[in-house]
Amino acid sequence: MPENIANADQLIRHNWKLEQVEALYDLPFSDLMFRAQTVHRENFDPNAVQVSTLLSIKTGGCAEDCGYCPQSAHHESAVKAEPLMPLDKVLESAAEAKATGASRFCMGAAWRNLKDRDLERIVDMVTGVKDLGLETCVTLGMLEQHQAKRLKEAGLDYYNHNLDTSPEFYGTVISTRTYQDRLDTLSYVRDADINVCSGGIVGMGESQKDRAGLLVSLANMPSHPESVPINLLVQVEGTPMAGTDNLDPLDFVRTIAVARLMMPKSCVRLSAGREHMSDELQAMCFLAGANSMFYGDKLLTTDNPDTDHDQKLFDRLGINTLIGEPAAVAKEACRH
Ligand code: SAM
Ligand code: DTB
Ligand code: SF4
């Protein structure tokens, strides 16, 4: 193995080459896991996992044609379009999430982009959720620069906007916005000094090279996203991607491990897809360096494991989620 690959995972790098990342994927599984766990321990408490709860504040009827998404108006899924949720309902749900033990509350809208006419309603949601003592995250589609600044003023902690896949595979997944559109939104978020949450989806029929390409695009941005969600495609009836061949679960774990090696100080989030994962597979993801996940019975429109089950899993694995601790302490679970 070339020396620059052997040592690469110790550094914060933004010059990853595709071949170097493919070489990490091609390592024997145990070697990859050992290296990922070693880097994980150098940067984080290995037994702490940060938990976020999701709420869909504007469901369905989305103008984009993302092939994986049940909320796109282009597909015939069972999800029905609903208007933006009123503030009191959002705050009720955030208070419940806090009582269950989440440290961050993530609000998602099925929008192509944020419209100025909705901006102040979102600002009120961010302020209200922060006042409950939770960290805030929103995912609202594309943003303009002035909107990112306004969200920062409101105290927003994280903005989620995924690159989803490699630049090469992207065109087979989405046709209504470009990869560059996504990078532009992420640069407005970063420039506004909001923490960036950006990752992707695997299991969409992409190749290992595409999974490596996604991680190269994420790690070679001017700074590593503070949070990197790795989603396993949730196959939803009515979407073009329903019926895709299942990804080898070990290739999912490899993606977590390679993300951990390439972005050693970022939180790597074991995101969508846990509902169909065994406890053992999830344990392997934590061993590979995942240290954040979505907690609560629902993601946006699809199911997530119930909180009792997750709590038992944490107990069995000796994982500390800092449930019940003040948000300021919980925040540290995912900081180096
Ligand atoms: N509409 C906004 C956008 O796409 O930017 C925000 C909400 S969108 C649902 C947030 C992310 O959820 C997507 O970027 C995608 O990565 C993920 N996602 C959506 N449907 C999924 C599915 N069926 N399986 C896994 N991840 C999914
Ligand atoms: C992310 O990367 N995954 C979350 C969150 N960011 C917004 C969303 C997963 C959605 C899964 C499909 C659904 O429930 O609609
Ligand atoms: Fe719309 Fe987001 Fe779903 Fe794409 S992923 S269809 S932008 S809600």
| pLDDT tens digit sequence for 195-234 | 999 999 999 999 999 999 999 999 999 999 999 999 999 9
Evaluate if residue 194 carries a pLDDT over 50.
yes
Helical pair 208-219 and 18-25, crossing angle rounded to 10 deg: 120
Residue 162 Cβ inside 6 Å of ligand 2? The answer reads yes
Give the model confidence (pLDDT) of 55-64 as tens digits: 999 999 999 9
Residue 108 Cβ inside 6 Å of ligand 2? The answer reads yes
SS (H, E, C) 238-293: CCCCCCCCCCCHHHHHHHHHHHHHHCCCCEEEECCCHHHCCHHHHHHHHHCCCCEE
Of the candidate ranges 114-128, 168-182, 313-327, the one whose mean pLDDT is the lowest: 313-327
Cβ 235 vs Cβ 244: under 8 Å: yes
Best mutation site among 72, 75, 302 for ligand 3 pocket (most ligand atoms within 8 Å of CB) = 72
- pLDDT value for 71: 97
Cβ 81 vs Cβ 59: under 8 Å: yes
- pLDDT value for 179: 98
212 C-beta neighbours (distance < 10 Å), count: 27
Phi-psi region of 230 (alpha: psi -120 to 50; beta: other; left: phi over 0): beta
- pLDDT value for 152: 97
184: amino acid identity, one letter: D
Which ligand lies nearest to the CA atom of residue 241 in the structure? 1
Identify the three-state secondary structure at position 182.
helix
Give the model confidence (pLDDT) of 129-153 as tens digits: 999 999 999 999 999 999 999 999 9
- pLDDT value for 8: 46
- Ligand 3 proximal residues by C-beta, below 6 Å: 62, 64, 66, 69, 71-72, 110, 112, 141
109 to each of 94, 106, 140, 174, how far by Cα in Å?
15, 10, 5, 18
- pLDDT value for 11: 76
Cβ 109 vs Cβ 121: under 8 Å: no
Helical pair 249-262 and 279-287, crossing angle rounded to 10 deg: 20
| Reported confidence tier of residue 1, pLDDT bands at 50, 70, 90 | very low
Nearest to 226 by CA among 184, 255, 264: 264
Q: 249: which 2 tokens?
A: 């679960």
Evaluate if residue 47 carries a pLDDT over 50.
yes
Give the model confidence (pLDDT) of 164-181 as tens digits: 999 999 999 999 999 999
Burial 295-329 (b: 16+ CB within 10 A, else e): bbeebbbeebbebeebbebbeeeebebbeeeebee
Q: What is the mean pLDDT of residues 263-285?
A: 97
Evaluate if residue 32 carries a pLDDT over 90.
yes
Q: What is the mean pLDDT of residues 117-124?
A: 97
- pLDDT value for 333: 55
Residue 125 Cβ inside 6 Å of ligand 1? The answer reads no
Mean pLDDT of the chain: 93
- pLDDT value for 57: 98
- pLDDT value for 101: 84
Catalogue the active-site residues.
62, 66, 69, 106, 137, 197, 269
Nearest to 64 by CA among 208, 177, 170, 173: 177
Evaluate if residue 39 carries a pLDDT over 70.
yes
Best mutation site among 300, 302, 303, 304 for ligand 2 pocket (most ligand atoms within 8 Å of CB) = 300
- pLDDT value for 314: 95
Atom 4 (ligand 1) nearest CA: 141
| Reported confidence tier of residue 332, pLDDT bands at 50, 70, 90 | low
Give the model confidence (pLDDT) of 53-108 as tens digits: 999 999 999 999 999 999 999 999 889 999 999 999 999 999 999 998 888 999 99
Q: What is the mean pLDDT of residues 301-315?
A: 95
Best mutation site among 77, 181, 201, 202 for ligand 1 pocket (most ligand atoms within 8 Å of CB) = 201
C-alpha 312, offset from chain centre: 23
Phi-psi region of 51 (alpha: psi -120 to 50; beta: other; left: phi over 0): beta
- pLDDT value for 322: 65
228 C-beta neighbours (distance < 10 Å), count: 27
Q: Given the DSSP bridges, would you call strands 195-197 and 200-202 parallel, antiparallel or unpaired?
A: unpaired
